[in-house]
Amino acid sequence: MKRSTIIAVVVAIATALSSQSRAAEAPQAQSQPAFSVQVSGEGQDMVLIPGLASSGEVWKSTVAHYSKHYRCHVLTLAGFAGSPAIQGDLVKEAEEGISRYIEQQHLHHPVIVGHSMGGFLALRLAADHPAQVGRLVIVDSLPALGATFIPNGTPEQIQTMAGQVRDNLEKNPASQTDEAIRKNVAGMATASQDVDRIVAWSKASDRRTVGEAMYDILATDLRPQLPQVKTPTLVLGTWIAYKDYAPEAAIEGTFKQQYAGLAGAKIEMAQTARHFIMYDDPTWMFERMDAFLQ
C-alpha cells in the first residue's frame, strides 16, 4: 500500500518521539483547562495553536512579528510540552474551550493560526463555530490525514489504522535513542537548535495524550464539513522534506484535493521549509500571511 508522503513521515516521527515521552500519568480532574494561554501585543486578536506535542513557544517569532498590530493569544495544549494532561478527548475539549475563550474574552472574529494538529483544530473550530472566527491561517495541515493512508478506505478501515497508530504511540517502550529520535525529527526542521527544541517538547509530553490526539486526527475526516467554513483561509504547505517520496506537484495536488471543499482557500507551497515553517523560513511565511491579512 502506498502511503502519503507527508503523513507517513510525520507519523513515523511522532512514533519515535512518543517512545521517549513520559508514560501516561494520572490525568488532572476535568476542571483542568484543555490549554493554557499567554497574551501579548495590542490590536486585532490573533489566536495561535501549536501542533502535536509542541509548546506555544513555537510561535515566538510569529508573535514578535505581529504583536505590534495584533493581540496574540498563544495556546499550549494540555498534556503537551510538560503541561498537565486532562481526561477525555483533548481535541474536542480544546475546540470547545477555544470557543468559550473567544466568547468569554469578547474576541471579535479573531484570526486563527494553527500549525499541524493546531491547523486541524482551527478548521474544526471554524466549521462548528463559523460566526466566531475571522480569517484562518493553516500551517502544513490537512483536513483528512487518515485518507492519505487509505485513499479509498471506509471510515471503519481508517479508524482501525488510526487505532494501530495510537496503540503504537502509547505502548511503544522508551527504547529509541536520542540519536534515532533526532534523525527522525530532522525531517521536520532543519536547524539543529530547532530539532533539539522539538525533541525536548516531545519528551515532556504525555504519551497517552499524544496517542489519543493522533488517533482523533487520523480517524476524523473534516472534508464534508469544509463548506461550513465561511471565512477566507490561507493554507501554507511544505514538500521539500518529502522529495524522496513524491514530486512537488503530487504533494501540492494532495493539498488542493483535500481543500477542494473550502471555497476560496488559497494554497501556497514553501520551496525550502520543512514541517516547522515558522522555524525554517519565517520570512516566506510572514510575507504570505501579511498579504493575506491585509
Summarize pLDDT for 194-232 with one digit per residue, the tens.
999 999 998 899 988 999 999 999 999 999 999 999 999
**Contacting residues for 184 by C-beta, under 8 A, at least 6 apart:** 12, 13, 16, 17
* Contact yes or no for 75/98 (Cβ under 8 A): yes
Model-level pTM greater than 0.85?
Answer: yes
- State residue 115 phi and psi, 5-degree precision: -110, 130
pLDDT along the chain (294 residues), means of 10: 44 49 45 92 98 97 98 98 94 97 98 98 98 98 90 88 83 60 85 94 90 92 97 97 90 96 96 97 98 97
Neighbours of 14 (CB within 10 A): 27
Q: What is the structure's pLDDT at 148?
A: 83
Give the pLDDT confidence score for residue 106 in this predicted structure. Answer: 98
pLDDT score of 256 = 96
What's the mean per-residue pLDDT of the chain?
Answer: 88
What DSSP character marks residue 232? -
Residue 152 is predicted with a pLDDT of 83
Q: Which long-range contacts (CB under 8 A, 24 or more apart) does 269-272 make?
A: 269/236, 269/237, 269/238, 269/239, 270/236, 270/237, 270/238, 270/239, 270/240, 271/240, 272/240
Name the amino acid, one letter, at 33.
P
CA distance 293 to 141: 19
- 49 φ, ψ to 5°? -115, 120
3-state SS class at 64 = helix
The DSSP string of 148-214 is HHSTT--HHHHHHHHHHHHHHHHH--S---HHHHHHHHTTT-SSHHHHHHHHHHHHTSBHHHHHHHH
**118-166 pLDDT tens trace:** 999 999 999 999 999 999 999 999 999 988 888 888 889 999 988 988 8
User: Domains along the chain?
Assistant: 5-22+32-293 (3.40.50.1820)
